[in-house]
Copies of this chain bind each other. A is one copy, B any other.
Amino acid sequence: MNKKGKIKTKKISELTIRRLSIYYRTLNVLEKLYRDTLSSKELSEIEGINSAQIRKDLSLFGSFGVRGIGYDIQSLKKALSDILGLNRKWNVVLIGAWQFSEVLVNSEALKENNFIITKIFNETSDKININDSIMVYDIDQLEKRIDPKKDHIAIIALPPQKVQNIIYRLEKIGIEGVLYFASRAVKTQGNMVVINQDISINLGMLTYKIMEKKQAN
């Protein structure tokens, strides 16, 4: 019965964490629409996730809906933000995104989730136009300018062949986690968490849907 106890011994899968992140995003939207409660059935319809799966995911963390009423959005959001670590500010340094930085700096999703971009590192630091609160440095200055006590996460948007070297340098600096845009795996000494954003997975979903649409017509 003690499902809560199970978490400590059993690792939560990446896909479960992904689903929790997706639920969190949806709750954020619904809260803005002044909704108070949400049923697993509604959440299921919004996300296209089986409602039994949703109830299972949420019960893992001790969050139970009330029959006929559903989940209290505010407390569920709070529980998910605690689990996902979104209940605190994360300072983010951006490496190599050039003008794509503008996309990330202006991202509402990052701001809403407490991700604050504080520094940008580029190979051509003179070419960028970002607001004044963000410092722009040359990539040569990584070791000099990153303070692992203040800078928690790095996002790397460099060509794939340049990623591994930066990963090595960031791990030495002592940064906690890295998100990079590339499909190839990278090596670490095990002191840093690394996740990649593989655009081809989303493109696979896109092409599937294009074909599905064509079949329907």
Contacts and interface: CB of A to CB of B under 8 A. Distances in A.
Interface of A: 11-15, 17-22, 24-25, 47-50, 83-86, 90, 97-100, 102-104, 106-110, 112-113, 115, 124, 127, 152-153, 155, 157-161, 176-179, 181-184, 193, 195, 197-211, 213
Contacts of A202: 179, 195, 197
A109 to B, nearest CB: 3
**What does DSSP make chain A's interface, helix, strand, loop or mixed?**
helix
Most chain B CB neighbours (cut-off 10 Å) among A97, A110, A200: A200
A84 B204 contact: yes
Given A100-B99, A202-B197, A85 B207 contact: yes
A169 to B, nearest CB: 18
| Interchain residue pairs A-B with the least CB separation, the first 5 | A109-B183, A100-B100, A85-B207, A98-B99, A109-B200
Chain B CB within 10 Å, residue with most, of A14, A115, A206: A206
Oligomeric state, in copies: 2
Contacts of A107: 160, 182-183, 199-200
Given A107-B160, A161-B106, A199-B179, A17 B208 contact: yes
Nearest to A178: B206
A20 B113 CA distance: 28
Given A13-B50, A110-B199, A208 B102 contact: no
